[in-house]
């Protein structure tokens, strides 16, 4: 089994803490890092005709923005510390896509940050951490 740690990253303070923790764990275990950013998207949402027409352009812009604003800076800052992670940006339901990435890339552990939603809101809208705690196929670390 490969030793690949998949880290969910969205630029939030919680995801920074998660990444720091995962980098530390990976160094000690000699594991590789894969930083995953998921853009929340449902193929069943409703769009206006204009949004349909512009969707491809918007998607391209969103992917470029995510790469330039999130992934490139963090890869650069980690490179300065001698860490060379791979990155992946995907669309979809966050928990499902993270599980899918783990499965496809052969991840051995998954790291996610706790977003702070608790109680009713989390139950209604389905917090990522709750979903992953229930559905993750590899050991999943939730970093507070």
Partner 1 sequence: MTSTYNRAALAAGGAFFAFLMLTAGTAQASSIDETVNQIFASATGWFVNLIFSSFPGTDFPWIVGWLVIAASVFTLYFAFIQFRAVGHAVALVRGDYSDPNNAGEVSHFQALATALSGTVGLGNIAGVAVAVGIGGPGATFWMIVAGLMGMASKFTECTLGVKYRNEYPDGRVSGGPMYYLTKGFAERGLPAGKILAVMFSIFCILGALGGGNMFQANQAHQQIAGVFGDFPGWITGLVFAAIVFAVIVGGIKSIARVTEKVVPFMGIVYVGAALIIIFMHYDMIGWAVAQIFEGAFTGLGVAGGMVGALIQGFRRAAFSNEAGVGSAAIAHSAVRTNEPITEGLVSLLEPFIDTVVVCTMTALVIIITGQLIADPNTGLYLLNEAGTAIQTVGGNSGVGLTSAAFASAFDWFPYILALAVVLFAFSTMISWSYYGLKAWTYLFGEGDTKELVFKLIFCVFVVIGAAANLGPVIDFSDAAIFAMAVVNVIGLYFLMPVVKKELHSYMSRLKSGEIKKFA
Q: Among residues 13, 30, 49, 119, which is the contact residue for partner 1, using CB under 8 A? A: 49
CA-angle at 127, arms to 34 and 69, nearest 5° = 45
Three-state SS at 8:
strand
Touching partner 1, residues 92-131 (CB under 8 A): 92, 97, 100
62 contributes a contact to partner 1 by CB under 8 A: yes
> Would you count residue 90 as binding partner 1 (CB under 8 A)?
yes
Beta bridge partners of 141: 111
By beta-carbon proximity to partner 1, the closer residue of 17 and 93 is 93
- Going by the DSSP 8-state scheme, the letter that residue 81 receives in this structure is T
Residue 21 binds partner 1, judged by CB under 8 A? no
Dihedral, CA atoms, 115, 119, 121, 124, nearest 10 degrees?
Answer: 120
Kindly list the residues in this chain that would bind partner 1 in the complex (CB under 8 A): 39, 41, 43-57, 59-60, 62-63, 90-92, 97, 100
């Amino acid at each position: 089994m490969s030793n690949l740690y998949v880290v969910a990253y969205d630029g939030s303070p919680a995801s920074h803490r998660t990444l720091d923790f995962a980098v530390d764990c990976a160094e000690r275990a000699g594991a590789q890092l894969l930083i995953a950013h998921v853009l929340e998207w449902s193929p069943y949402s409703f769009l206006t005709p204009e949004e349909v027409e512009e969707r491809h352009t918007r998607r391209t812009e969103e992917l470029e923005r995510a790469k330039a604003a999130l992934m490139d800076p963090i890869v650069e800052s980690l490179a300065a510390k001698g860490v060379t992670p791979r990155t992946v940006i995907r669309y979809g339901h966050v928990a499902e896509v993270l599980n899918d990435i783990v499965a496809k890339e052969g991840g051995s552990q998954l790291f996610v940050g706790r977003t702070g939603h608790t109680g009713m809101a989390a139950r209604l809208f389905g917090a990522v951490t709750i979903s992953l705690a229930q559905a993750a196929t590899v050991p999943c670390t939730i970093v507070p």
